Amino acid sequence: MMTVAASRALANDTACFVGIGLPSKASNLARRTHAPGLVLIYESGTIGAKPATLPLSIGDGILAETADSVVSVPEIFNYWLQPGRIDIGFLGAAQLDRFGNINTTVIGDYDDPKVRLPGAGGAPEIAASCGEVIVVVRQTARSFVPELDFVTSLGYGRGAGDRERLGVRGRGPTMVITDHGVLEPDPGTRELTLTRVHPGVTAEEARAATGWELAVADDLDTSPEPTATELEVLRALEAATAEAVESTPSAPGVRT
Amino acid sequence: MAQITSLSEGVAELVGDGDTVALEGFTHLIPVAAGHELIRQRRRDLTLVRMTPDIVYDQLIGAGCARRLVFSWGGNPGVGSLHRFRDAVEHDWPRPLELEEHSHAGMANRYVAGASGLPFAVLRGYSGTDLAAHTDTIATVACPFTGEEVTAVPAINPDVGIVHAQRADRDGNVQLWGITGIQKEVVLASDRSLVTVEEVVDRFERVTGDLVLPSWAMTAVAPVPGGAHPSYAQDYYDRDNQAYVAWDAISRDRSTFGDWLRDELGVSLDDEPAGERGER
């Protein structure tokens, strides 16, 4: 349901900065269903990739082979992301707070961490410079925390006006999609508010999976069930990907 | 002119203990064999630089070659954590690892400044994050024309830059194509450079969209067929995704990693000089 909900959030003819995993799956599903004109941009420098199967890393050869253009890493960040040419960025999170700030750096103290996470990657500038950001993350009381151990990527800071004060140009996280439902920033305070639950999930369950007092919209909505087409396309994509992984040669050999 | 040499001679001549070394490759064309040669030659106290330290850096860190890591994202792409990297940061094993941490945009611009002969680069970056508080090489600077405040990061100029490419000609000109990542910038930013290639040919045909590094811009070129495995070389071989998955299990545990190191590279962790290893 997370994948389908994320896919539906992508409008046709927009440019999307895609990460591996769920964002890649969701955007490839969108391109095969309601958004054939979606432009997939991966941080390895592939612009307009149209992979037949899901890539297993952001720089898989299938992305380069099917892209409209392949550019260097400085170019993808400086020419394409930084000026705001990319409509939507997709981010994951190890920890997220009520203002959509994201931690992917450490759990615990920075100098003596309990868990060392991969770090920033492209996320700080994706969070700042994409037109808007969609965060996809599983909702648990451990990941949805009152206070981040480290702010890797900016959401709304401490609330309304912080992004503007910092001179950050993108709108910030407009949607947080979880396994429970969808959270959106309150138009006034920018605090994330539960606006939708997925079928079979209650607001109480979403509250229990949140480490702060979760705000719930008065007109709480329910996500529509995945359609037969969405499920069919998604399963076909997963099957084709599994088959491609199976047939990967295990050792290098010159391909002629 | 770049000298055509062997991998072992190239590493022996160009890389010394304590050097700052960047092995780059953005998913594609990762110089894995060169990293393994650094381990075999038991290089120590290296400052390793790389945007996306992946499994070859996990191996270098686990083998105790690194004192410091300058990076922006450390993980096993598409799989999960780098367990040797985590063990070094979380438990100082086999030795403590200092971190200098950036974002991709910051690292990319640091290489661009290095390649451009400039002291620093500017970008819109890091605003509102905790990175600047933990990284000395992130600052702000006012635009001299408008006064607008932007982020400044210093140039990276490694002692040695190492990359992998598809092929070279007999004169040592190097041709690469596909996802070219940050390869050109790291070669041009480094004092010395070593390029490993899939093959050396008499003369290469030009490929649409390729990028040629001229012989005179590099120090040494070494033929190493399969030198990027388990990453890939476009039009030579595909990424070995299973190897990335398999690394997760090998690297989780110090003893299975030690077995791998002995079996694959002939290096024993027990060979370490006394006093150099952290507590187990």
What pLDDT, on the 0 to 100 scale, is given for residue B277?
43
Q: Is B1 helix (H, G, I), strand (E, B) or coil?
A: coil
Q: Which residue has the tokens 């992508």?
A: A10
Chain A residue numbers touching B128 (CB-CB < 8 A): 101, 128, 151, 154, 157, 162-163, 166, 168
Q: Is A174 helix (H, G, I), strand (E, B) or coil?
A: strand
- Contact of A203 with chain B, judged by CB distance below 8 Å, is answered with no
The residue of chain B nearest to residue A254, with distances taken between CA atoms, is B236
Q: Which residue has the tokens 């002939």?
A: B266
What lies within 8 Å, CB to CB, of B217 at 6+ separation is B2, B187, B188, B193
Domains assigned to chain B: 3-104+156-265 (3.40.1080.10)
Which numeric CATH code is attached to A2-243? 3.40.1080.10
pLDDT tens, residue by residue, A193-248 = 999 999 999 999 999 999 999 999 999 999 999 999 999 999 999 999 888 877 65
What lies within 8 Å, CB to CB, of B91 at 6+ separation is B278
Q: How far is A188 from chain B (nearest CA, A)?
A: 20
Chain B residue numbers touching A150 (CB-CB < 8 A): 130
What pLDDT, on the 0 to 100 scale, is given for residue B272?
58
pLDDT bracket for residue B26 (50, 70, 90): very high
Q: Is the pTM of this model over 0.90?
A: yes
Q: CA A190, CA A219: separation in Å to the nearest integer? A: 18
List the single residue in B27, B104, B148 with the smallest CB-CB distance to A121: B104
A residues 80-139 lying closer than 8 A (beta carbon) to B: 81-82, 101, 105, 110, 113-125, 128-129
What lies within 8 Å, CB to CB, of A45 at 6+ separation is A70, A71, A72, A73, A75, A76, B26, B179, B180, B181
DSSP A199-249: TT--HHHHHHT-SS--EEEEEEEEPPPPPHHHHHHHHHHHHHHHHHHHTS-
The residue of chain B nearest to residue A253, with distances taken between CA atoms, is B237
Q: Do A118 and B75 touch (CB under 8 A)?
A: yes
CA distances to A26, B22, B37 from B8, in Å: 45, 17, 7
What pLDDT, on the 0 to 100 scale, is given for residue A250?
47
Length of chain B counted residue by residue? 280
Q: Where are the beta strands (DSSP E) in chain B?
A: 3-4, 20-23, 46-50, 66-71, 98-101, 120-123, 139-142, 149-154, 160-169, 174-176, 192-201, 211-213, 220-223
What pLDDT, on the 0 to 100 scale, is given for residue B43?
97
What pLDDT, on the 0 to 100 scale, is given for residue A228?
96
| Residues of A marked as catalytic | 43
Q: Do B112 and A74 touch (CB under 8 A)?
A: yes
- Contact of A157 with chain B, judged by CB distance below 8 Å, is answered with yes
Q: Do A128 and B242 touch (CB under 8 A)?
A: no
Closest to B247 measured CA to CA, from B64, B85, B46, B6 = B85
Interface A-B, measured as beta-carbon pairs within 8 A, has a size of 201
Chain B residue numbers touching A125 (CB-CB < 8 A): 103-105, 123-125
Is the pLDDT at B278 greater than 50? The verdict is no
Quick one: which H or E segment has residue B248?
Answer: helix B241-251
What pLDDT, on the 0 to 100 scale, is given for residue A20?
79
